[in-house]
Structure 1
Amino acid sequence: MEIYLVSMTVVAGIYAVMALGLNVMWGMAGLVNLGLVGSAAVGAYTSALLTKSLGLPIGVGMLAGALAAAAAGAFLSLVSSRLKDHYLAIVTLGFAEAIRIVASNEIWLTNGTDGISGIPRPFRSEVTTLQFNLIYLAIVAAVVLALYVLCQRILYSPFGRVLHAIRDDDVVVGVAGKNARLFKVTAFAIGSGIVGLAGGLYAHYTSFISPELFVPLMTLYVKLSLLAGGVGNNRGAVVGAAVIILILEGTRFLVPFIPYITPPQGAALRELFLSATLLIVLRFRLKGLVPEAHDHLIVRPGATPSR
């Protein structure tokens, strides 16, 4: 049970990293991205290939994965810079599916649907299973804390204020002399890079990745995390990820007590519990458990405006 609890906390931390990345794109800049799993896959496969095939250190592999995901996100943003709302959502969803299809068919690179196993894990050969999980939990917690501080700095910076202005009305931003397209591409790259880092964390934790892991349902869970926690609030992203994982895993123990339920029906019922909980949260807390604050939009005396 201890290993299970620690493992679920690690997963919640990884989801928190992805929710922070989504918050930069969606919460701050209003850019809809349904292709989060594509960025996570790019980060995971890049890190796995570099560390397993080339023998690079795990830290270098995860950093390279984050940079590769950021580059892919910047490219995607450039080619779709004129799209908004559901049009942008469809393009990003197609991007994620394209990444998954490539990973499934380019056997020479990704080993196809069989996936990549034996991905290096830090200190795994030197410690017990529980100790490894605790060590990795500390690593993930440190990453979440560092990214939270980074995202808070972005939020309260002139750059962050421009992103919020773009979210409200990018035409007005253009009239004010800001290059809205450049800001959008930068936000997309930063958010995608953070999600790619989460993919690398996941790969080196499970030691196995395959295309079947990077399905749209993962994106849905991350978006639910941000919705439940509070769109536009970094604390909400972390809190929402913890809540979603708690519901998903907590209901696992409730289903066996429901009579006449088969395992497939139990899995569907867990999703129903998650949906019902989210509806309840949004009914009474429309802006999430930790609503977005607006003090970061106030330009303080002596502050330098973004150019």
Structure 2
Amino acid sequence: MIHYVITLLSIGGIYLLLAQALNLQFGFAGLPNFGIVGFFAIGSYASALLTANGNFPVYGAMLIAGLLAALMSFGLARIVLRLRTDYLAIVTLSFSEIVRILVIGEEQITNGPRGVSGIPGIPLLWSPGVNAVVLIIAVNVLVALATHLLVRSPFGRSIRAMRDDEAAFASISKSAVSYKLRVFGLGGFVMGVAGALYAHYFGYISPDQFLPLTTFYVWIAVILGGAGRLSGALIGTIVLTLFLEGSRFLRDVLPFISEVEMASVRIGAIGFALMVLASRRPQGIMGDFTSK
């Protein structure tokens, strides 16, 4: 039971980091990023390859992984941020698939579909599982505090003004592109660090672990919790995790359904619960309580 709770906290914490990053990009700056899993994969593979093959210190590798993901995010943003919102979403989604295809194709570097094994765990004082969950929680707290300070700074007020009315924002001689680049880079850094934590927690990664479904889970968490709310990412991730994990116990309630059929029932139950919640609180659980 303890092992299950630690696993749940660790995986939920990694999703929370991704949700916090997306909340900064979309919730506060209005930038739709559907390439989340791509930056997540970049962070995972960068840290895994540095430590498993290069004997690099784990914490140094995690920092480099975050910086590499931030650099890739910044570079992609330079190319696509002048696109309209819908095209921006399509291009970022395509980017994540390009990353996965490159990981599969570059076998000499990434070991292709066989993945990377022998990734060292988190070096702290306790057992590996406890080490990971303590570090994941600590990183989440740091990211939440940094986001809190950022959105209340002049920079944070500027990106919220840009989100609300970009034309008015540009009319006061503000460079929207400059702000977007920085927000994309910051979000990419957090996604890369989340990927590194994921790699060191499991000790093995492969391309099959970085599918678009991860991106959509993160979007669900942010929308459920309330985009643009500091508490929204946390609450949305908790609710999503409860839905995903709670549905595993449907087998105990419906023992007459086969294992194969249960997979479809579970997806349907999750979808129905999410639709009910979204219809009751379209602005998100922590959204504006004055909205109807």
Same fold at TM > 0.5: yes
Q: Which runs of 4+ in 1 moved over 6 A?
A: none
Q: Which residue of 2 aligns with 1:67?
A: 67
* 1:39 correspondence with 2:39: yes
The Cα of 1:260 is off from its aligned counterpart by 4.1
Q: Which moved further from structure 2: 204-213 or 232-241?
A: 232-241
| RMSD value, Cα | 1.7
Unaligned runs of 5+ in 1: 295-307
CA distance in 2, matches of 1:114, 1:256: 35
In 1: Cα distance, 2:148 partner to 2:139 partner: 14
What fraction of aligned residue pairs are identical, expressed as a percent?
37
CA shift at 1:223, angstroms?
0.5
Q: Distance in 2 between matches of 1:119 and 1:18?
A: 21
In structure 2, stretches of 5+ residues that fail to align are: none
Q: Assess if the C-alpha contact under 8 Å between 1:233 and 1:293 holds in 2.
A: no
Query: Offset of 1:171 from its aligned partner?
Result: 1.6
Distance 1:293 1:284, change over 3 A: closer
Q: Distance in 2 between matches of 1:147 and 1:195?
A: 11
SS in 2 for 1:208: coil
Q: What is the Cα deviation at residue 292 of structure 1?
A: 5.5
Specify the alignment match of 1:197 in structure 2. Answer: 193
Q: Give, in whole Å, the separation in 2 of the partners of 1:6 and 1:168.
A: 40
Residue of structure 2 equivalent to 1:113: 113
Task: Name the counterpart of 2:131.
Answer: 135
1:104 equivalent in alignment to 2:104: yes
CA distance in 2, matches of 1:68, 1:184: 18
Once residues 293 and 234 of structure 1 are traced to their aligned partners in structure 2, the CA distance between those partners, rounded to angstroms, is 15
Q: CA offset at residue 246 of structure 1? A: 1.5
1:206 Cα offset (Å): 0.3
Return the match for 2:262 from 246, 256, 266. 266
- Counterpart of 2:77? 77
- Residue in structure 1 matched with residue 225 of structure 2 by the alignment: 229
Q: Kindly tell me: are residues 178 and 113 of structure 1, through their superposed partners in 2, closer, same or farther at Cα, counting changes over 3 Å?
A: same
Q: Describe how 1:181-196 pairs up with structure 2 within 5 A.
A: 181-196=177-192
- Structure 1 CA distance, aligned partners of 2:259 and 2:188? 35
1:1-307 equivalences under 5 Å are 1-123=1-123, 131-291=127-287
For 2:232 and 2:226, locate their aligned partners in 1 and report how far apart those are by CA, in whole Å: 5
- Amino acid in structure 2 at the alignment position of 1:241: T
Post-superposition offset of 1:53: 1.5
Tell me how many residue pairs correspond in the alignment: 290
Do 2:66 and 2:192's aligned partners in 1 also have CA atoms closer than 8 Å? yes
Q: Deviations over 1:91-112 (max 9, x none)?
A: 0011000000000010001000
Matches of 2:165 and 2:107, distance apart in 1: 45
1:297 paired residue number: none
**Counterpart-to-counterpart distance in 1, 2:221 and 2:260:** 24
